[in-house]
Structure 1
Amino acid sequence: MNSTNILLKQDTEANLDDRYLVPGLVRGLAILKLFDQHHQEMTISEIAEKLAVNRSSAFRLIHTLEHCGYLRKMSQKTYALNSNVMELGFNSLSKSSLIDIATPIMRELRDQIEIAVHLSILDNTHIVFVSNVQSNGPFTSNIHIGTRWPAHATVIGQLALSQLSEAEVIARYENFNDWQVYSERTPKNLDALLKRLEDVRQQAFMISWGHFNHDMAACAAPIYSQATQQISAILSVSCPLSSYSEAEFSNEVSKNVVAYADKISKFIYK
């Protein structure tokens, strides 16, 4: 199903009368949605093919979007998004806090996988939970806003630390002596932590299967700022080990966590 049909289907499902739809506007919005990190520039022919319209129709739509400042012509007859696209939502989003933006999306994730969802930030050598959405099942998480955990011992903290340079990590842990060990996977000293972070930097997400809280599973994925491309926060989920099989948690739950972390990242501009 192409992007135009998806948008039309969404409007129908929302009980809108098709007689009031403006097909040209729907197709114009669909063009803007075609551009992403893998398709930063496209030709008229490529856009026409993806929309399943003829080249003449695609040209008129592209010309209109270019005239309005939402597309710009590049070299080699390609087009790319222009800065006006960013301005559509930037003014309101830039005034919204991370928690305001993330919490509704966290609720969507909770409804999808039915377990607790958390938002954390790095604070020196600890992570701090700044937002939580309880599961809609029988389990109630004992993690509260303001709960602090040692960053070196948790997948959340290790992901957050992984964006720092080795020198920055050393500086933070220079006078740190509380290398409490929770399992065989807990770094026991600074050298072990630095080695772990080398591996973490290659990972899109991390899973703990009873490695911090022995009867709990957790999955964490980074949320990035569009402005700096640095990690702004960590999205994570947690549940008793009995909630999912380890394979299910590692494969299915992790995909959802990464997808929703990416979804939040699209709206973070600080």
Structure 2
Amino acid sequence: MNSISKDGLLEHETESNNDERYLVPGLVRGLAILKLFDQNHQEMTISEIAEKLDVNRSSAFRLIHTLEYCGYLKKMSQKNYALDSNVMELGFNSLSKSSMIDLASPIMRELRDKIKIAVHLSILEGTDIVFISNAQSIGSFTSNVHIGTRWHAHATVIGQLVLSRLSESEVIKRYENFTDWKVYSERTPHDIDSLLARLKEVREQEFMISWGHFNTDMAACAVPIYSQSTQEMAAVLSVSCPLSTYTEDAFRTDVARTVIAYAEKISKFIYI
């Protein structure tokens, strides 16, 4: 039963306002150490960790020794430390039980709220891209793309992006009996040779933009999502909107950079 404190607040409310009383500083610092390691800092010395945490070297050593003992850090050389396998297991045991859609959906909605346009998640099936999750745009425009919608992969930036990560022999095999080479613009491949030529260009690109090339009045930006376990493309995050929503320059710069950032966010949680 909740009691009333002298200032009239419920006792549990008073306690919740002083939650810092219950923090364990050593645990906070230990978790902060694990977060220091990333793609640009895969190994660090005790001195480097101490400097980044703003603690003395002795404190840093005790924290690092504890993390090493528990299997979260490992000594790479006489001076350097790196993350050990237990760190990966912490996330993987939980994330591997969640589907990519479950993991991506809240991040897709966050992206939609930020740029106000429709956000999609797609995969490749045969010679089609299939939309497996969507976040509708905010405003009067409603996207006609729904879960289960299929488009020819050869004709879309989403499909070309996924196909570009396959070997040439795999692409040829997928299209050996394909005859429905619909052309939507001068940029649409119209046979296997023009598709292979297009994919050679796409392989050099981090992301792709369509400015009226598939749907003449629509813009789209497609960015790959990668699996942490295989480093291969697991899906494509894309956004779409009428050409009138943004200037072409803003779409190719500001919008594209934002979609790239959110695709990287999703990729951090994908282990399929």
TM-score (norm 1): 0.91
**Which residue does the alignment assign to 1:145?**
147
Please, which runs of 5 or more residues in structure 1 have no aligned partner?
Answer: 1-13
Q: SS of 1:75's equivalent?
A: coil
**Which residue does the alignment assign to 2:50?**
48
Greater Rg over alpha carbons, structure: 2
State whether structure 2 residue 65 is matched by structure 1 residue 77. Answer: no
**Which residue does the alignment assign to 1:166?**
168
**Which residue does the alignment assign to 1:62?**
64
Work out which of the residue numbers 199, 211, 214 in structure 1 matches 2:213. 211
Q: Percent identity?
A: 77
**1:116-155, aligned counterparts within 5 Å?**
116-155=118-157
Work out which of the residue numbers 114, 117, 120 in structure 2 matches 1:112. 114
Please, which runs of 5 or more residues in structure 2 have no aligned partner?
Answer: 1-15
How many residue pairs get aligned? The number is: 257
State whether structure 2 residue 46 is matched by structure 1 residue 37. Answer: no
Q: CA deviation at 1:87?
A: 1.3
Q: CA deviation at 1:20?
A: 2.8
Q: CA deviation at 1:49?
A: 2.1
In 2 relative to 1, CA 15–240 (structure 1 residues): closer, same or farther, beyond 3 Å? farther
Alignment deviations for residues 90-142 of structure 1 (CA, whole Å, 9 cap, x no partner): 12211111111111111111111111100000011110001111012221111
- Bigger helix share: 1
- Give the Cα–Cα distance (whole angstroms) in 2 for the partners of residues 15 and 248 of structure 1: 43
Alignment deviations for residues 148-180 of structure 1 (CA, whole Å, 9 cap, x no partner): 011011110011111100000011111212111
Q: Which amino acid aligns with 1:88?
A: L
State whether structure 2 residue 240 is matched by structure 1 residue 238. Answer: yes
Work out which of the residue numbers 195, 202, 215 in structure 2 matches 1:200. 202
In 2 relative to 1, CA 42–179 (structure 1 residues): closer, same or farther, beyond 3 Å? same
- Give the Cα–Cα distance (whole angstroms) in 2 for the partners of residues 178 and 125 of structure 1: 10
Work out which of the residue numbers 26, 29, 44 in structure 2 matches 1:27. 29
Q: Which amino acid aligns with 1:244?
A: Y
Alignment deviations for residues 66-90 of structure 1 (CA, whole Å, 9 cap, x no partner): 1111101112411111111111121
- Give the Cα–Cα distance (whole angstroms) in 1 for the partners of residues 17 and 131 of structure 2: 39
TM-score (norm 2): 0.90
In 2 relative to 1, CA 203–79 (structure 1 residues): closer, same or farther, beyond 3 Å? same
**Which residue does the alignment assign to 1:255?**
257
Q: Over aligned residue pairs, what C-alpha RMSD do you find?
A: 1.5
In 2 relative to 1, CA 85–197 (structure 1 residues): closer, same or farther, beyond 3 Å? same
Work out which of the residue numbers 83, 89, 106 in structure 2 matches 1:87. 89
